[in-house]
Amino acid sequence: MIKIHHLENSRSLRILWLLEELELPYELVQYQRHATTRLAPPELKSIHPLGKSPLITDGDLVVHETGAIVEYVLTRYGDGRLMPARTSPDWVRYLQWMYYAEGSAMLPMMLHLYAGRLGEAAAPLRPRIDSEFHNHLSYMDRAVSATGYYVGSEFTAADIVLSFVAQAAQAARRLDPFAHLTAQLRALEGRSAYRRALERGGPYSLNIFWAPKP
Ligand SMILES: N[C@@H](CCC(=O)N[C@@H](CS)C(=O)NCC(=O)O)C(=O)O
């Protein structure tokens, strides 16, 4: 059975959500962040040297990195669900979104997060961070404007993976101008599988990272 090594308030909720959508059984191992540094506890490094979450084990196999975990789970257990067929023209679009989420869209979120710790010293970075926020969020907003999904008119794992970007933007108070993305996030968070993942994973908030200081 798949075991999810789940760090609180993290990207890892997406993997619980994926398995809930697929109605696959899984074992959950919970990890708490350090109260001050917010980093993952050292025990995660005994599963994988990076010590990051999400992380799954399936028998002897250890898989890290959200996109790879999603790809592994869908290929091994998905029976064609939550992704377009490889022969479909939508498949390459799906692939792009899957890589884009962590490879590109998270960059402005992370820059914003770390620049926030520099206070005024980060001022020269601000225009670039802000323009990249706008660049990515408007691109994502346009993409979901027609159907509410990134790929065609079907809910896919790309919607799950990219939801974290929208949630981080929401915590940073940057999501409101993007009406389609905001509506999509609301709809996704209403899905019963998402609600079950939240119940199982425990309290979830990204405000501790991205919310602006009062
Ligand atoms: N691109 C990686 C990012 C993994 C990552 O940085 N996870 C964060 C949680 S959102 C983490 O484990 N942080 C704790 C730490 O760095 O100690 C993925 O999507 O799997």
Q: Are 94 and 64 in the same domain?
A: no
The pLDDT assigned to 47 comes to 96
**How many CB atoms neighbour CB 107 within 10 A?**
13
Best residue among 11, 17, 47 to mutate for probing ligand 1's pocket (most ligand atoms within 8 Å of CB) is 11
Helix (H/G/I), strand (E/B), else coil: 14: helix
Q: Are 126 and 160 in the same domain?
A: yes
Number of domains in the chain: 2
* Nearest atom within ligand 1 for CA of residue 65: 20
Residues 58, 2 contacting (CB under 8 angstroms): yes
CATH number of the domain where residue 158 is located: 1.20.1050.10
* Mean pLDDT across the chain: 96
Q: What is the Cα–Cα distance from 196 to 185, expressed in whole angstroms?
A: 16
What single-letter amino acid sits at 208? I
Q: Does a cis peptide bond (omega within 30 degrees of 0) precede residue 54? A: yes
Q: How far is ligand 1, taken at its centre, from the CA of residue 89, in Å? A: 31
Per the structure, the complete domain to which residue 179 belongs is given by 90-191
Q: Are 101 and 170 in the same domain?
A: yes
Q: Are 199 and 186 in the same domain?
A: no
The residue contributing the CA closest to ligand 1 atom 13 is: 52
Report pLDDT digits (tens) over 124-175: 999 999 999 999 999 999 999 999 999 999 999 999 999 999 999 999 999 9
The residue contributing the CA closest to ligand 1 atom 20 is: 65
Best residue among 12, 53, 104 to mutate for probing ligand 1's pocket (most ligand atoms within 8 Å of CB) is 53
The verdict on the CB of residue 8 being under 6 Å from ligand 1 is no
Q: Are 12 and 49 in the same domain?
A: yes
Report pLDDT digits (tens) over 11-47: 999 999 999 999 999 999 999 999 999 999 999 999 9
Helix (H/G/I), strand (E/B), else coil: 54: coil
CATH number of the domain where residue 31 is located: 3.40.30.10
The pLDDT assigned to 183 comes to 98
Q: Are 62 and 25 in the same domain?
A: yes
Q: Are 63 and 106 in the same domain?
A: no
Q: Are 138 and 102 in the same domain?
A: yes
The verdict on the CB of residue 168 being under 6 Å from ligand 1 is no
**Burial state string for 45-73 with b = 16 or more CB within 10 A and e = fewer than 16:** eebbeebbbbbbbbeeeebbbbbebbbbb
Helix (H/G/I), strand (E/B), else coil: 123: helix
Helix (H/G/I), strand (E/B), else coil: 176: coil
Q: Are 143 and 64 in the same domain?
A: no
pTM score above 0.95: yes
Does the structure show a pLDDT above 90 at 212? no
Taking each helix axis from N to C terminus, what angle separates 13-22 and 192-201, rounded to the nearest 10 degrees? 130
The verdict on the CB of residue 53 being under 6 Å from ligand 1 is yes
Q: Are 29 and 62 in the same domain?
A: yes
Does the structure show a pLDDT above 90 at 210? no
The verdict on the CB of residue 7 being under 6 Å from ligand 1 is yes
Nearest to 2 by CA among 67, 73, 71: 73
* Nearest atom within ligand 1 for CA of residue 39: 17
Task: Identify the burial level of 19 via C-beta atoms within 10 angstroms of its C-beta, where 0-12 means exposed, 13-18 middle and 19 or more buried.
Answer: buried
For 49, residues 6+ apart whose C-beta sits below 8 A from its C-beta are none
Q: Are 39 and 128 in the same domain?
A: no
Task: Identify the burial level of 150 via C-beta atoms within 10 angstroms of its C-beta, where 0-12 means exposed, 13-18 middle and 19 or more buried.
Answer: buried
Q: Are 186 and 199 in the same domain?
A: no
